[in-house]
Structure 1
Amino acid sequence: MSEERNRQSKKELFTKKKGSSTGKVFTLLGVLVIGAVAAWFLLGQGASDGIAAVKAENGFVNLTISDLDDGQAHFFKLATGKGDIKFFVVKSVDGVMRAAFDACDVCYREKKGYRQEGDFMVCNNCGQKFRTDLVNEVKGGCNPAPLARRVESNQILIAKADIVGGGWYFGL
């Protein structure tokens, strides 16, 4: 009798009807949905390059100083029809709010910009360091390219025309 059961079990293994394809379709759809959500976060909405997008209103980008006066460089990008123009604002060691393009006259072709290390802005391409209190003061070479700004009350105002004028640093 046990031999008969073994034969029957083996026969069922080989002749067992496959389940419906509905379960497989739902499984595949679930995997696709999860993949799409992951791609959205990694490549789209959820991805962040650490650079805040800004818009100009009435010809100016307006930034609130109290959001930026922590001594850290804050990076921004202004979208144009041809691409983004990147810049940063930093409250330097002497307490002045300063602005510069995230590029310089020498290394701009590499499109690597700057990072902050303490009281210095460091070129991500060549590694040269520049004190934050010299941003907007020293021009040329590998210094961060100055960006004109105006301080009014608790606002930093940067003319859109001045930002767009630096588009050549970004191949625009």
Structure 2
Amino acid sequence: MLPGLALAACLLAFASTAHALFGFGGKFKAVQASGGVVSIPLSEVSDGKAHYYVFKRDGFAVKFFLLQSPDGMIRAAFDACDECFREKKGYVQDGEFMVCVNCSQRFHASRINEVRGGCNPSPLERTIGPDSVTIRERDIMAGRGYF
């Protein structure tokens, strides 16, 4: 009986760790477009943490994240890259870095939206207003091939 309890405890610990590291079960917040744009309040993303979103349309679920880098800039990228997107694993945050879950490459937050190609998080165009970040629906849907 004891080995069964130990196995159950290990599985529970693994599930808890996986949820904390990879956000299984609630990592992505669904967003909708209004007038062709998705609008996300700056107050929601101005804390230095990665915030993950999903936009669903025409049978596609396009995933992206917003992150305020240490320089105060709000960055946006698809939760995918040109190299590892087929694995559908995306990125997790480790302090000031975004880390590819598939290949473990690390990218400083200040590089998001600045560097393209390879395993860099694929940039997503965004506009920063006084109260919100807006992203055009067509720019989000341009990344549907990653998902």
TM range (shorter): 0.7 to 0.9
User: How many angstroms does 1:66 deviate by?
Assistant: 0.9
2:58 equivalent to 1:58:
no
1:145 aligns with 2:122: yes
Q: List 4+ stretches of structure 1 deviating above 3 A.
A: none
Specify the SS of the correspondent of 1:161.
helix
Structure with bigger gyration radius: 1
- Structure 2: any 5+ residue segments left out of the alignment? 1-23
Query: One-letter code of the match for 1:72?
Result: K
Higher helix share: 1
Q: TM-score, normalised by structure 2?
A: 0.82
| Identity within the alignment, % | 47
* 1:115 to 2:92 alignment: yes
Provide the rounded CA distance (Å) in 2 between the counterparts of 1:124 and 1:49.
17
CA distance in 2, matches of 1:112, 1:144: 12
Aligned residues: CA RMSD = 1.0
What is the deviation of 1:118?
Answer: 0.2
SS of the equivalent of 2:48 reads coil
Bigger relative contact order, structure 1 or 2 (CA pairs below 8 A, ≥6 apart):
2
1:41 alignment counterpart: none
Aligned residues: 124
Match of residue 28 from structure 1:
none
Instruction: Tell me, yes or no, if structure 1 residue 132 matches structure 2 residue 109.
Output: yes
Aligned residue for 2:145, secondary structure, equals helix
Q: Secondary structure at the match of 1:95?
A: coil
User: Secondary structure at the residue paired with 2:123?
Assistant: coil
